[in-house]
Structure 1
Amino acid sequence: MRRIDVFLIGIGVFAIGGAGYLGLKWAGLDNIDAGIWSQLLLVGIIFAWLSTYIFRVATKKMTYTQQLKDYKEAVLQKRLDELTPAELAKIQAEIESERNSG
């Protein structure tokens, strides 16, 4: 995420809070009640976003984790592609002997 994205998200969150406040005032609530309910709405939105972040961390669906996995797979595939047929056959024979002995 770029720095400008973080700023835009922050501005968006404050805009949602302000719009909620104005909407609640327009609906007939006084200043204090509209402020309390708009803050509750804002805190709820932030907790919902935070829960999605924690879920992505717990399930390892983060961008960095996925990029690291893709990189490791690409490196292994490149190494496999660079092997000669004789080296590949030797490695496959070693794997088969390990499977049979284990």
Structure 2
Amino acid sequence: MRRLDVLGLGLAILLGGGILYGSLVWAGLDTGSAQKVSSMVFLLACLGWTFGYLGRVLRGEMALKAQRASFEAQQVQEHLEALSPEEWQALQAELEAEEEGIPAVGSPEQRED
């Protein structure tokens, strides 16, 4: 979210609260009751946003995490596309050997230092 977006959102919340308060006073509520109602609406909105945010954090649905996963997948895809046919066959052989539980040639399991 850009700085301009945050300022716009803050201004919208401020104006929305003022419009709600003014509407309640215009509808006939006394100023104390209108203030309590508009404050309660603001509090419930803040709590709803906070619990929604915590839910996204706990489920791992954060925007940065999704962007990072997408970037890493793109990097792997580009790396695989850049492989020569010989490198591709060697990689496939290594993966098949790992699936069968056989250490690949040159892997750390076979080295004796």
TM-score normalised to structure 1 length: 0.89
**Alpha-carbon separation, structure 1, partners of 2:66 and 2:100:** 33
> 2:100 is matched by which residue type in structure 1?
N
Correspondence for 1:51: 51
Write out aligned runs for 1:53-68 (5 A): 53-68=53-68
Q: Give, in whole Å, the separation in 2 of the partners of 1:16 and 1:43.
A: 13
Which residue is equivalent to 2:18? 18
Unpaired segments of 5 or more residues in structure 1? Answer: none
Residue ranges of structure 2 left out of the alignment (5+ in a row): 103-113
Deviations 1:36-79 (A, max 9, x none): 11100111112222222222222222221111111111111111
State the identity %: 32
Of stretches 81-90 and 47-56 in structure 1, the one that deviates more from structure 2 is 47-56
Whole-angstrom distance in 2 between the partners of 1:16 and 1:50: 19
| SS at 1:83 equivalent | coil
Cross-structure match for 2:88:
88
Q: Which structure has the bigger radius of gyration? A: 2
Q: CA RMSD in A?
A: 1.5
| Bigger helix fraction | 1
Larger relative contact order (CA 8 Å, sep ≥ 6):
1
C-alpha separation between the residues in 2 aligned to 1:19 and 1:55?
Answer: 30
User: 1:40 corresponds to which residue?
Assistant: 40
Q: How many residues align?
A: 102
Normalised by the length of structure 2, the TM-score is 0.81
Q: Provide the secondary structure at the position in 1 that maps to 2:33.
A: helix
> Which contiguous aligned blocks of 4+ residues in structure 1 show a shift greater than 4 angstroms?
none
